[in-house]
Amino acid sequence: MLNDLFSIERAFLANGDPIGAAHADVKDMAKGPAFRLRLDSDARLAAVELIEDAGRGAVWTLRDGQHNGFPGLKTKAGLLEIGAAELEAHDQVWKKHKAGAERRAELKRLAQAFPVQAANWPEAGHRKRIAERLDALRALANDDKAAAVPAAFERFLRAVDAPAPLLAQLTAKLIEALDSRSDEWLEPIRAAFIGTMAVVIDVASGAFARDASDPRQIGAVSAALSETSGAAAQTGVCALSGAEVVLHRGNYPQPTLPGLGQSYVYSRNADIPALRRYGRIAETSFSVGAELTRRLRGVLDELTKSDKEGKTWRLIPAESGDKPDLILCSLASLSDEDRAVLAELAEDEHDEAGPAARDELIKQGGALFGRLAGAGNTRKGETPHILVLVLRTVDPANRKAIYSRRLAADQIEDAAVRWREANRNLPESLGFFLPVKGQKTLRLHRPPRVAPLSLTPLTRALFANGGQRRVEIIGLGAVEAMGLFLGEGNAEARARKILRAFLRRCDALLLNLAAASHEGGEALRKFDPQLDLRRHALRVVGWFGALLVFLGRPKETYMNDLAYRLGQFLSGADFLHIGYCADRRNGEVPPMLVGASVMTLAGGDPVRALAVLSQRLKPYRDWMRSSRFEKLNERIKQLNAAKKENLAIAIRVGLTRARQMEAAADDLTELLQPYKTKEKRPDDRFKAELLLGYLAGFPKARKSGAPDANGDDPKIVEHDLGEAE
């Protein structure tokens, strides 16, 4: 990760937009609420404020690893001294009463019934460390903007030794807040009364130019801590910059990254024997400048600010597990031409490129993430090069860069145009009927426009038990999706790999879902009662269409080739079988339809599959040919009169599909010839096109006002699921 962060840091510096350094001991607070305790010049608690979420850069704190935090720290125990039995009784009351007034009354009852804990907080070792930090930060008192930092440290040390304990003052302030603050305060106050609570120590409002806990203090604090540690520093050659500098020693920075949690920018396990052999363990295994290390931490802080989600960072699914990957986006080093363009965009009077570069990063990073999610509207020729980095959790202490690329605007836009065209590579008739909430009629949902980053969640599912049981497995990573989207390396080979994965995981789902849809609405509802299988299948089919474009198979080509036409033919055979059962078996359909029964064989040997199908179709063809039109028409009228419209429709559709099959037979015979002579052999592309033809079937030519093959309302309109991610 260090090398990738170094490239990003160099790019910021080259663009005239340096990133502030952050000391390794500067940490984020944990997510969740915290109370800001404001101390006046006499070290008394002047005010208490609620910070709804102290994490993700809202406030900062100093910690030695996970210990001795300040100015952000936690109380040792609940403010009130409550026994286990009384606490259990309180829990029951709290769960029972949800209204704000009732909960306020319960918290007041606790404050009146139980004394304040006489806790020694913080402990002696923690106080000593706060005092040591104060000594290192005293020089900030001469800086108007940073003077609040040493003041907060000094006031806190006086407050905890004062006759009136700080926690007792806090308890009194929280009791007052029950009458004056909103309901959002109730849960945090309860947490403070009965358990530990995060607090942030600060100075009284308005006493200084900036609060002590302001994130803008991090630069000054980091510089002060670095100066005090310089006397014992060791110099050497930085492995990244090549310069003779003061080297970093001790733990590397541990920023809290979105989705990945607390992450070392570099870690090397001291217990690895191969490292001990050479005496190069922990931080000595890789020499990096101390100041550069702090700037690399600053790079991560800058790119992962909470307000830049979807602009410079985004979480994406990993191949397995519940931990996502983190994708970061940054501007690369700008050319002189790029800098001239950005300088014109700068709003400050000096026309510096830096501020404009930062704005451009936010704009273009958001555009790239939009493209990867299937959206975005970047235009060619407007974006400088950007760096893309994907980070992953390898183990609790280890984060690795699994993808790092430098991308140009034209490359991204060309990829987006290709992807948009690839998403149109499906027959118009393909889709599944789904109910619409609040409506009685069904709608034909066509495959959605799939996004590149939808690859990972879709391939994490394997469908077993005939396609009805979803099994969680390892999916294909975002690296594969981005590589295909951007056309990196051998795009055709990558497309074949992805297509093979989809076929292995989803062929049973697609085959049996299509067969159920041929039978009609009841069979489809039985196969997919929750609708999730149909929705997943539609997204997989959307990927089929896109992948076929990368394999040189636009729909104008594959819809006229053997695999697709054979799939249509087998679909028609299913409908013929269903029509026969409607007439001769009162609608009782066997578990396997005749077309579906040879689908697997057709994917490997289409010649043999058609030979087998010809034998199995004989009784159904005989039925069709021996039944005169007048006789079947009378049968249909009888079924309609008996309110068995579905059987009547099945007979009519079966006959229609049989005629379409006869019309297609000659073309199939011609298209089959190269497979008879072994000039062509089925492959994964063939299987995908076969499934698409089976799913789409023959075009449903019907008269206006007539029901379709499944007996659905003819007024059904097509409905797109929209973009899938």
Q: Check pLDDT > 70 for residue 126.
A: yes
β-bridge pairing 442-446 and 718-720: parallel
pLDDT band at 268 (very low <50, low <70, confident <90, very high): low
Nearest-angstrom CA–CA distance, 13 and 18:
5
Cβ-based burial of 52 (10 A; exposed 0-12, middle 13-18, buried ≥19): exposed
Nearest-angstrom CA–CA distance, 234 and 524:
72
Q: Check pLDDT > 80 for residue 261.
A: yes
- Give me the pLDDT at residue 310, please: 84
Q: Check pLDDT > 80 for residue 5.
A: yes
Q: pLDDT: is 716 or 393 the higher one? A: 393
Q: Check pLDDT > 60 for residue 276.
A: no
* Residue 500 structure tokens: 């093979």
- Read off the pTM: 0.75
- Give me the pLDDT at residue 716, please: 31
CB under 8 Å to 206, separation ≥6 — which residues?
Answer: none
Nearest-angstrom CA–CA distance, 483 and 455:
12
Summarised one tens digit per residue, pLDDT across range 536-550 is 999 999 999 999 999
- Give me the pLDDT at residue 284, please: 65
pLDDT band at 706 (very low <50, low <70, confident <90, very high): very low
Give DSSP secondary structure letters for 161-205.
TSSS-HHHHHHHHHHHHHHHS-GGGHHHHHHHHHS--EEEEEEPT
- Give me the pLDDT at residue 406, please: 84
Q: What is the largest CA-CA distance in the chain?
A: 107
Closest CA to 523 of 718, 710, 714, 697: 710
- Give me the pLDDT at residue 407, please: 82
- Give me the pLDDT at residue 274, please: 57
CB under 8 Å to 29, separation ≥6 — which residues?
Answer: 54, 55, 58, 59, 60, 61, 72, 198, 200
Which pairs count as long-range contacts for 84-87, CB under 8 Å and 24+ apart, including other chains? 86/113, 86/114, 87/194
pLDDT, mean over the chain: 84
Nearest-angstrom CA–CA distance, 368 and 139:
44
- Give me the pLDDT at residue 339, please: 43
Closest CA to 55 of 28, 35, 26: 28
Summarised one tens digit per residue, pLDDT across range 311-348 is 888 888 888 888 899 988 887 755 544 444 434 433 33
Q: Looking at the DSSP assignment, which residues form a beta bridge with residue 449? A: 723
Mean pLDDT of 212-241: 82
- Are 97 and 239 spatial neighbours (Cβ–Cβ below 8 Å)? no
Cα 96 to Cα 45, 93, 186, 195, 470: the distances in Å are 34, 5, 15, 20, 39
Range of weakest confidence among 138-142, 428-432, 603-607, 668-672: 428-432
CB under 8 Å to 600, separation ≥6 — which residues?
Answer: 511
- Give me the pLDDT at residue 497, please: 96
Closest CA to 511 of 571, 443, 445: 571
